[in-house]
């Protein structure tokens, strides 16, 4: 992630409509996945400063792993719950996890199958991995450059990636279908202007609230739409 973007990220996460709606969507999916797990063990991969931990702790014991030392040092009360490093053979948790989160992580990697495979080895029987990634390379904009993305995924590509790691593919869906056209317009404008990547800004409060409302309603009533700017998928190891 670009340094200027990293500096603005905590405020964006707490206030911007996109992060607010994505968190609500992810929490709803987690609640369904952990319905029968009273106190789950959860690992958030690429957790940054642990901004999601406050919301996650109601489901059980939360830990994170993050490669950015600066983000870890800025984690405040969650510092002791975050492991600094990579999720590989050097990471040895005290017990398996019921749920591993990879929220907008795999698009940064040249070999996402490897990370998913290593994560699968840390799952309890019947454990799941919840993945979100940006969708469709034809929606690539300067925002992807700002985030140091390697790729965007189609549904078939994320399913192939999950299966390649030896995991079963569970429920999956596209997110934010109404943002596809604005994203295409932004891409076209960038192609004409050749502008440099810009850090997102939080819109005025009335606009922010309105877009939040629209996207929440969209997710409630239009989950069947076969396209979007992001997608969410569940990977499962075995059966509980």
Of the pLDDT bands very low, low, confident and very high (cuts 50, 70, 90), residue 238 is: low
Q: Is the pLDDT of residue 121 over 90?
A: yes
Q: Is the pLDDT of residue 1 over 80?
A: no
User: Looking at per-residue confidence, does 96 or 5 come out higher?
Assistant: 96
Dist CA 112 CA 196 (whole Å): 27
pLDDT tens-digit series, residues 200-215: 999 999 999 999 999 9
Q: Sign of the C-alpha dihedral, residues 177, 237, 40, 66?
A: negative
CATH of the domain at 64: 3.40.50.150
Give the domain extent around 83: 3-236
pLDDT tens-digit series, residues 37-73: 999 999 999 999 999 999 999 999 999 999 989 889 9
At residue 213, the pLDDT reads: 97
Cβ neighbours of 104 (radius 10 Å) = 15
> 159: which residues sit within 8 A by CB, 6+ positions away?
169, 172, 233
- Degrees, nearest 5: CA angle 199-184-15: 35
* Average pLDDT, integer, range 112-141: 96
Distance of CA 75 to the CA centre of its chain: 18
* Average pLDDT, integer, range 134-149: 95
Going from the C-alpha of 140 to that of each of 135, 143, 187, the distances in angstroms are 9, 8, 7
At residue 198, the pLDDT reads: 87
Mean pLDDT, all residues of the chain: 94
Q: Is the pLDDT of residue 239 over 60?
A: no
Q: Is the pLDDT of residue 240 over 60?
A: no
Percentage with pLDDT > 90 across the chain: 83
- Degrees, nearest 5: CA angle 7-201-135: 90
Q: Is the pLDDT of residue 108 over 80?
A: yes
At residue 7, the pLDDT reads: 87
Tell me how many domains the chain contains: 1
pLDDT tens-digit series, residues 144-189: 999 999 999 999 999 999 999 999 999 999 999 999 999 999 999 9
At residue 88, the pLDDT reads: 87
């Amino acid at each position: 992630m670009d340094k200027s973007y990293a500096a603005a990220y905590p405020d964006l996460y707490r206030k911007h409509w996109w992060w607010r709606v994505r968190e609500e969507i992810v929490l709803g999916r987690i609640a369904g996945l952990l319905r029968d797990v009273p106190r789950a063990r959860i690992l958030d991969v690429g957790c940054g400063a642990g901004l999601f931990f406050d919301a996650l702790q109601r489901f059980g014991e939360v830990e994170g792993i993050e490669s950015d030392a600066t983000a870890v040092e800025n984690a405040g009360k969650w510092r002791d719950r975050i492991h600094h490093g990579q999720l590989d053979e050097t990471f040895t948790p005290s017990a398996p996890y019921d749920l591993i989160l990879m929220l907008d992580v795999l698009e940064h990697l040249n070999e996402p199958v490897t990370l998913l495979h290593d994560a699968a080895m840390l799952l309890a029987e019947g454990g799941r991995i919840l993945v979100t990634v940006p969708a469709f390379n034809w929606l690539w904009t300067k925002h992807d450059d700002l985030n140091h993305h390697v790729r965007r995924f189609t549904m078939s590509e994320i399913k192939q990636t999950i299966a390649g790691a030896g995991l079963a593919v569970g429920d999956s869906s596209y997110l934010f279908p109404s943002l596809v056209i604005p994203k295409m317009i932004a891409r076209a404008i960038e192609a004409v202007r050749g502008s440099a990547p810009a850090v997102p800004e939080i819109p005025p409060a009335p606009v922010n609230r309105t877009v939040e409302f629209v996207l929440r309603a969209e997710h409630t009533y239009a989950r069947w739409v076969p396209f979007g700017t992001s997608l969410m998928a569940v990977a499962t190891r075995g059966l509980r």
